[in-house]
């Protein structure tokens, strides 16, 4: 696909490294990015700046204030707006010579094949295992290369899967770890600049695949520790036991395996908890499973037992008292409540909406974060 005059000027610094032909390949190429978050923002910026002709963005989320320390496409003026809409507007301003398709929806079993098949390759910047395995499985079915990356606190991982009959993501990671081992950025936090580094590396891998230059990151997993700024590389081979690409067991059951069905525990709303705490006849064991730094911002009492180090053996509850677990928004406390229930504690609840809901409904004098 030939470049026009404006494009010849815009991409002039690219020609010495990837050639006119490489730039034309970029113009002809189409890439879809799943997730417009920490990884997606920088990856999309570089892909669009580089002149990838058609870029898709899939995300059902809206912009929150806590996104802004790492999701560098967004500003305070964008709070509450759909990420894909704002990203599309910014990226179109950055490069008006490309087509950008925004899909304000969550990737699901129902829409994944339709959404992904229109593109040459897929960039995974999602933040949950269900989507991560779904992307891999659909990429394998559609024979689409997958540039996958993920982050945790100071660490990032990146690899290219399903490329030229190479290993798939399940060859390396047959199953996701349990939730308590694999918190996402909301729970465990992340150094803001880390997804910038890893997302830019994803864009570099996509561009290399399109222009067919260098050694793609297939058969290898690279891990960065930003604290030591050391990269480690691991050899990845096709796994003869891979349930997807070797044993061909892809089915609804395989998808379900990533869902990790768990026992349900009841939520308690702030109003009822407040009533319990003010009732002298009601004994309640309150457990705060947030991190100490969160506790220092605000709390509603109870024992501090962070979910990241939670050891049920350290809990010596009076079994006659109900246990109420709370965290910031309810996610971590629900997991810990399920764990406690599974261990035989009969009366376990988690605070619905977490301490943020408590502040909204019961005590607005406390600081939010």
Partner 1 sequence: MSKIHLHASIQRFANDYEIVDIPGNCALNELLNRLIEEFPRLKPIIFTNDQQISPYLVIFINGQDRRNLSDDVIVAANAEVEIITSLVGG
CB neighbour class for 170 (10 Å; exposed up to 12, middle 13-18, buried from 19): buried
Site residues for partner 1, 82-121, by CB under 8 A, read: none
Instruction: Give min distance, CB of 98 to partner 1, in A.
Output: 23
Contact 36, 125 (CB under 8 A): yes
Among 116, 149, 204, 298, which residue interacts with partner 1 (rule: CB under 8 A)?
A: 149
Q: Based on CB atoms, which residue is closest to partner 1, 116 or 273?
A: 116
Instruction: Give min distance, CB of 143 to partner 1, in A.
Output: 23
Site residues for partner 1, 209-268, by CB under 8 A, read: 223, 225, 232, 234-237, 239, 241
Query: Mask 277-316, x = binds partner 1 (CB under 8 A)?
Result: -------------------------------xx-x-----
Contact 59, 124 (CB under 8 A): no
| Euclidean distance between CA atoms 241 and 24, whole angstroms | 40
| Euclidean distance between CA atoms 201 and 207, whole angstroms | 10
Helix (H, G, I), strand (E, B) or coil at 335: helix
CB neighbour class for 358 (10 Å; exposed up to 12, middle 13-18, buried from 19): buried
Among 14, 27, 90, 132, which residue interacts with partner 1 (rule: CB under 8 A)?
A: 132
Q: CA 267, 273, 279, 283 torsion: positive or negative?
A: positive
Q: Which residues are within 8 A (CB) of 275 and not within 5 positions of it... i.e. 6 or more apart?
A: none
| Euclidean distance between CA atoms 369 and 367, whole angstroms | 7
| Euclidean distance between CA atoms 50 and 200, whole angstroms | 12
Contact between 66 and partner 1 by CB under 8 A: the answer reads no
Among 74, 119, 173, 349, which residue interacts with partner 1 (rule: CB under 8 A)?
A: 173
- Applying CB under 8 A, the span of 93-101, 104-112, 147-155, 336-344 interacting with partner 1 comes to 147-155
Q: Based on CB atoms, which residue is closest to partner 1, 71 or 352?
A: 71
Instruction: Give min distance, CB of 105 to partner 1, in A.
Output: 17
Positions in the binding site for partner 1 (CB under 8 A): 35, 37-40, 124-129, 132, 149-157, 172-178, 181-185, 188, 190, 195, 223, 225, 232, 234-237, 239, 241, 308-309, 311
């Amino acid at each position: 696909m030939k470049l026009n005059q404006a494009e010849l000027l815009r991409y002039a610094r690219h020609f010495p490294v990837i050639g006119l032909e490489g730039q034309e390949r970029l113009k002809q190429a189409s890439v879809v990015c799943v997730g417009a978050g920490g990884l997606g923002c920088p990856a999309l910026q570089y892909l669009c700046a580089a002149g990838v002709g058609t870029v898709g963005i899939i995300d059902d989320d809206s912009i929150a204030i806590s996104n802004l320390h790492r999701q560098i496409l967004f500003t305070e003026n964008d709070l509450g707006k759909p990420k894909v809409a704002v990203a599309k507007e910014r990226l179109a301003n950055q490069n008006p010579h490309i087509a950008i398709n925004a899909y304000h929806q969550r990737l699901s079993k129902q829409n994944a094949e339709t959404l992904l098949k229109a593109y040459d390759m897929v960039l995974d910047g999602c933040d949950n295992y269900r989507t991560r395995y779904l992307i891999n499985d659909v990429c394998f079915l559609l024979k689409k290369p997958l540039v996958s990356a993920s982050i945790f606190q100071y660490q990032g991982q990146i690899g290219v899967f399903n490329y030229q009959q190479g290993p798939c993501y399940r060859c390396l990671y047959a199953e996701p770890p349990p939730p308590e081992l694999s918190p996402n950025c909301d729970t465990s936090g992340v150094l803001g600049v880390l997804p910038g580094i890893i997302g830019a590396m994803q864009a570099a891998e996509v561009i290399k695949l399109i222009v067919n230059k260098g050694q793609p990151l297939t058969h290898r997993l690279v891990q960065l520790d930003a604290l030591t700024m050391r990269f480690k590389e691991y050899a990845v081979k096709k796994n003869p036991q891979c349930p997807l690409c070797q044993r061909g067991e892809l089915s609804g059951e395989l998808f379900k395996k990533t869902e990790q069905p768990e026992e349900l525990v009841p939520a308690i709303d702030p109003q009822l908890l407040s009533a319990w705490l003010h009732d002298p006849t009601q004994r309640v064991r309150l457990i705060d499973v947030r991190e100490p730094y969160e506790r220092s911002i605000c709390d509603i009492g109870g024992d501090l037992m962070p979910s990241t180090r939670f050891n049920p053996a350290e809990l010596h509850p009076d079994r006659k008292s109900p246990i109420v677990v709370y965290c910031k928004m309810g996610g971590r406390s629900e997991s810990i409540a399920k764990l406690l229930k599974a261990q035989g504690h009969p009366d376990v609840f988690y605070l619905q909406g977490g301490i943020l809901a408590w502040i909204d409904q019961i005590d607005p004098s406390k600081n939010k974060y």
